[in-house]
Amino acid sequence: MLRLFLAIAPLLSMSFSAMAFDEPPNFEVAAIYHHNPIQGSQPIQIDDSQFRAVGSSLQTLIIYAFGVRVSQVSAPEWVRMERYDIWAKLPPGSTKKDIPGMVRTLLAARFRMKAHWTSTEGPVYALLLRGHETKFKRSTEDEPKTITFSSAGYISARAITMLEFCDTIAARVGRPVIDRTGLEGRFNINMELANLDLKPPVQAVSSAANDNPGQQPFSDGSSIFTVLTELGLRLQGTTATTKRLIIDSVDKGFTTN
């Protein structure tokens, strides 16, 4: 028995050491600055040695770091509005799969962000096809992703997935939207919602409107449901369990570089 213990003791020591000194993924070095609004913003960019985010909101970083959708994040409004520039050096041998974990570490260490997950069952809308195909046009492989909103009620999106489209309209129908179209790939989408307030509706929705989503009222009587119908889609009210990331606390400022 003593011989057996002596034989496995080094292995136990090595295993314990590996566990004790295991650290979360981290950038070698990261510089963070408040974004100058005069300069344009850019999507997150990654190459063999660097992670760059220019004019990114914390919401964008959270979505990337945790692999969630906009509608799954519950956070203060400024998290969507404040913009930052981040340049970070990747450790040698890093892969793209490692980087979300590094961003999570950065959010916790530099912005003191604390968060937790919760799952709730509640009302949602399911986005469905009315026929076999939508009127959205498929984008080309080299098109960059863009989403533009105008105060006149025009939405123009390029190279977005149906999941991203669901996020785009979720805030405008007052509840999460889940994709059940079965459509793969990326699309170019143009929607004209004349005189429609593009902010999330603040008025209470009647029980009748909940039961019949096609009658969902907006401030001027217009309905996004009608526009979707014309594009070969429909929203159906249902219930589902949704997972949400709750941001308990986060600092608008950040620790020094």
Q: Which amino acid is at 239?
A: T
Q: 90 and 49 share a domain? A: yes
Report residue 17 CA to chain centroid gap. 37
pLDDT at 221: 37
User: pTM above 0.85?
Assistant: no
* DSSP SS3 for 47: coil
Sheet holding 50-57, edge to edge: 29-34, 83-89, 50-57, 42-46
Enumerate the β-bridge partners of residue 157: 147, 189
Q: What backbone phi and psi angles, to 5 degrees, belong to 173?
A: -115, 0
Name the more confident of 94 and 4: 94
Final residue belonging to a domain, choices 47, 79, 111: 111
Is the pLDDT confidence value at 198 over 50?
Answer: no
Is the pLDDT confidence value at 248 over 60?
Answer: yes
Instruction: Please state the domain count of the chain.
Output: 2
Range of the domain at 217: 119-197+204-245
Q: 105 and 139 share a domain? A: no
CB 44 within 8 A of CB 64: yes
Final residue belonging to a domain, choices 43, 78, 111: 111
Final residue belonging to a domain, choices 70, 87, 111: 111
